[in-house]
Chain A
Amino acid sequence: MSAGPMSAPRPHDAGRLVYDGVGFAYPGTEHPHAPALSGVDLAIAAGEMVLVIGGSGSGKSTLLRCANGLVPHSSGGRFSGSVLVGGRSTRAHKPRELADLVGFVHQDPEAQFVVDHVETDLAFVLENLGTDARSMRRRVEEVLDALAIAHLRDRSPATLSGGERQRCAIAGALASAPALLVLDEPTSQLDPQGADDVLAALTRLNADLGTTIVLAEHRLERAAPLADRAVLVADGTIAATGAPGAVLAGYDGAPPVTHLGRLLGWDPLPLTVREARARAAGEPQHPAPPAPPPHAPGRSLLRARGLGVAVDGHRVLDRLDLDIAEGEVVALLGRNGSGKTTLLRTLAGLLAPATGSVEHAATTRVAYVPQDPNSLLFAPTVADELGATLRLLGRRDPAAIEVWLERLDLLTTRDRHPRSLSGGERQRVAIAAVAVGGADVLLLDEPTRGMDAASRTALEAAIREHAGRGGVVVLATHDVELAARAASRAVVIGDRDLVADGPARDVLAGSLFAPQVLRVLPPFLTVAEVARSLSAAASGQS
């Protein structure tokens, strides 16, 4: 009986990953001159923790999928160059033949579970590799401890929270003791606490076991400070690589504190709140942000009274009161499973309240964009997807389609199949497809999931414009930075009830997960506010 892959001594550079002149185009690519990857040369040393960044559709996921041969063995397509992992070529070895060397974690952890029992699922890779029973047992116990999930061993993945599920997925990839762990946006679906847990676990693996870690991320506030190196991917090429601070210096998706440092001319640029605070201690006091114009309470568009909602027999919301007036952008905050989605679905009339009521005028239309944009998309092109909504409403308005394509930065994708787009792009298509119908109240569930900085900026502008025209936007989100930039009001849900409700500045100021700028330069919420304040001060002096 084989002792399995873990008993064999492994060379110290088993976690080394080398891309040499890698080019790749997916099958059926319409433009062979615009490949997914082109001329990629990159060497990642064993034991490094590397952060891969870049815009939606830049080629990050393709780059990652090359690491264990999913590209090209699973994807098909035209592949050139070579990828060597621990000295093995991914051309000659299929993903299953690299399973002892590379652990791969998908963006959606649900896609990764094969068995409906956490402990047994961890052993799946070991069973496949022919590991003997004793080594398997020991390894599973070690992985349970390494990811701090021993208490979840008898659970079904379907019953876990997002953060727990992601840690279990990472444990499943780690069970074979891979020298290289590759993760595609592991925190994109998690609340702040869940994201912290996952990143802490990765840091521990890297520091204690020397596992090489390569992860792609959009939300860099937490991940950037942990990496040894950042790699910026743009248009399928490596645009920059180096220390995270240096690479992020000119990157739009950098954490807010880095943008703040750029604005204030700090050198070196901070990556963490701690670094930024230390730097800000010597800064002169900036004038307080101009008070927002007094918000005249508009006409109430949506009202919940004594709302109680049960899902699968469990009470998720109880005796909740909420009034939303025209012109408001409301951020719904709360941990995974707190009831944000349930509240949105109830406000949209998709769930019947167990108690209380949801009221709005008969002329007020309430539309909802679900968390998973795939449940909405059915048309062959992006433009058709928007046109479909108008057809359903009995309208023909090509101008409205153009307006929303432009607002959400989708003009270049108008003729593409929605399913061929990246996750962030699909999210924008779904929002545009709903918003084009002209609903007064837009309910958006985790709208920035998987979105890059440019997309988030476009979305925020569209949200403000909708509210500015007297509409209402309610965002259920984990992204406190989005709440800080876009919301006029924040509502925190916890344990079936509203925990806090008020102006976004007041509510966010009282939270452990306050936006970065607020923690560095209170009472400023965003970099834009600091910029406006500086500009006002400068014009006052002149």
Chain B
Amino acid sequence: MVSARVPADPVAGDPVIAELVVPRAPASDRPVLHAATWIVWAAAAVVSVQLAPNVLYASVVLLVAVLVVETHGRRTGLARAFPVFLALGASFGLLRVVLTVATTHGLGTPLATVPDFTLPRLLGGFTVGGTIERQVLWQALADALVIVVVIAVFGAWNAVVSHHEVLQSTPRAFHELGLVVTIALAFVPSTLAALRTSREADRARTGGVVVRRGRLVRHAVPVLESGMERAVALAESMDARGFGHRPAGRGERVAAVGTLGGLLGLGGAFVALVGGAQLAAAISGGIGLVLLLTAVTSASSAARRVRYRPRRLSALDAAVMAAVVMAPLGLVVLHAIGDESLRWAPTGTGLPPFHPLVVLSLLALSVPAAIRSATP
């Protein structure tokens, strides 16, 4: 069984050799825009959807988030996790719909009736179940869409931003904490990938025979053990590369004491507020805040870490930031002049109102996508 493509001459014109020596084309995974720009974009998108929760406008923001991921999504694990964030948002939204329709009654036209029960007074004493009402259902769906959009925006932000750049933008006092968070975030996609691989391996092991009994253990144990091994290997690697090289200095010790005092002060303020002692709460809270600020300042100045080539904001970043903040600003102006389309109470009978100026404002959020399209 020799195919016609087996090379006769091992040197000249050998497709095998050609395949093995052709180098890959270089590329860049560096985000076009600064992490701070993406923070501003995400904040503008979230504020916009809060200002204009009308389902039509919320859908526009959702589409913009998808467009931004399509044009700026990085080739990293978190970027690939965008659909997972969408699914997570949909799950939260669905949960909210179920809870709302099951506990809100007497506001609209009954659609159906399900068995009900009343919780004990200690747990709120409200009734769960009973009539499912049309207006309540539609409003819950509209509110759920807002939740989906907010989580989608967070997912989009994770897909496009360099988390290390975000880390570099934080005060030096938070560097180590931020690094831990960054690494923990990086474990999310790798754990999802490990779970997929584990499920595949389980199916492959039996030659496609699917056995449901004991499946959870067979899937979870390899993922947990591999995750633990990977975490240990990463910790060893960080240790071998000098992480935590220098012992804590005086500044760090002062910061630790300040943080503890600050937290105690804020805790005391909370207790005082509960007890109705407002003056004591203000004093305790003030002292707590001052101590916390002192701790952050002290830790930042004590940190001897020199950052490698921190990225600076470019004119493009400034322009994009200026453009995207026009979205919430425009909505604030429209709200001030009495635009009633921003908020809409769905009844299940009419279509949501639409104002071109609102959509125009929201389209400012898509400016980053246009930048990407113009960049080769």
Contacts and interface: CB of A to CB of B under 8 A. Distances in A.
Interface of A: 1-2, 68, 70, 73-74, 94-97, 99-100, 102-104, 106, 108, 111-112, 114-117, 119-120, 123-133, 136-137, 140, 151-152, 154-156, 158-159, 161, 164, 172-173, 176, 191-193, 297, 312, 323, 334-335, 338, 345, 348-350, 365-370, 372, 374-378, 388-389, 392-393, 419, 433-434, 437, 439, 443, 489, 492, 494-495, 498-503, 506-507, 509-514
B222 interface: yes
A119 B218 CA distance: 39
Contact of B5 (A119, A172, A498): A498
A513 B19 CA distance: 12
Nearest to A312: B80
Contact of B209 (A161, A375, A392): A392
Contacts of A365: 207-209
A154 B200 contact: no
The 3 closest A-B pairs by CB, nearest first: A494-B19, A99-B242, A128-B242
Interface stretch (B71-79, B135-143, B291-299, B368-376): B71-79
B219 to A, nearest CB: 8
B34 interface: no
Contact of A152 (B5, B26, B226, B238): B26
10 contacts: A96-B244, A106-B237, A111-B236, A130-B246, A131-B306, A366-B208, A370-B197, A378-B217, A500-B16, A510-B16
A99 B241 contact: yes
Nearest to A379: B221
A419 B309 contact: no
Nearest to A345: B200
Given A74-B239, A158-B77, A392 B217 contact: no
Interface string B353-374: 0000000000000000000000
Contacts of B237: 104, 106, 111-112, 114
A159 B3 contact: no
Residue of B5, B162, B164, B241 ringed by the most chain A CB atoms within 10 A: B241
B20 interface: yes
Given A345-B200, A370-B204, A512-B17, A124 B241 contact: yes
B10 to A, nearest CB: 5
A392 B205 contact: yes
A159 B75 contact: yes
A130 B305 contact: yes
Contacts of A100: 242
A437 B29 contact: no
A492 to B, nearest CB: 6
Contact of B198 (A156, A375, A392): A375
Interface in B180-215: 183, 186, 194, 197-198, 200-209, 211
A106 B2 CA distance: 41
A353 to B, nearest CB: 15
B349 to A, nearest CB: 41
Contacts of B243: 96, 114, 124, 128
A86 B232 CA distance: 27
Given A136-B308, A155-B28, A176-B242, A509 B10 contact: yes
A152 to B, nearest CB: 7
B253 interface: no
A389 B205 contact: yes
Given A127-B305, A370-B197, A375-B226, A96 B6 contact: no
Given A154-B30, A173-B241, A500-B5, A136 B164 contact: no
A128 B21 contact: no
Nearest to B27: A155
Interface in B270-325: 304-309
A303 to B, nearest CB: 13
A456 to B, nearest CB: 22
Contact of B164 (A106, A116, A155, A192): A116
Contacts of A349: 203, 208
Interface string B1-18: 111011111100011110
A159 B205 CA distance: 29
A370 B80 contact: no
Given A372-B197, A376-B201, A378-B221, 14 more contacts: A1-B306, A74-B232, A102-B240, A116-B29, A116-B163, A117-B164, A136-B306, A334-B19, A365-B209, A375-B194, A376-B205, A492-B19, A500-B15, A512-B16
Residue of A96, A161, A334 ringed by the most chain B CB atoms within 10 A: A96
Contacts of B5: 498-501
Contact of A193 (B21, B211, B230): B21
B289 to A, nearest CB: 31
A334 B236 CA distance: 33
Nearest to B28: A154
A439 B12 CA distance: 42
Contacts of A95: 236, 239-240
Given A120-B308, A130-B245, A495-B19, A367 B239 contact: no
B338 to A, nearest CB: 46
B22 to A, nearest CB: 9
A156 to B, nearest CB: 4
Contact of B222 (A130, A376, A507): A376
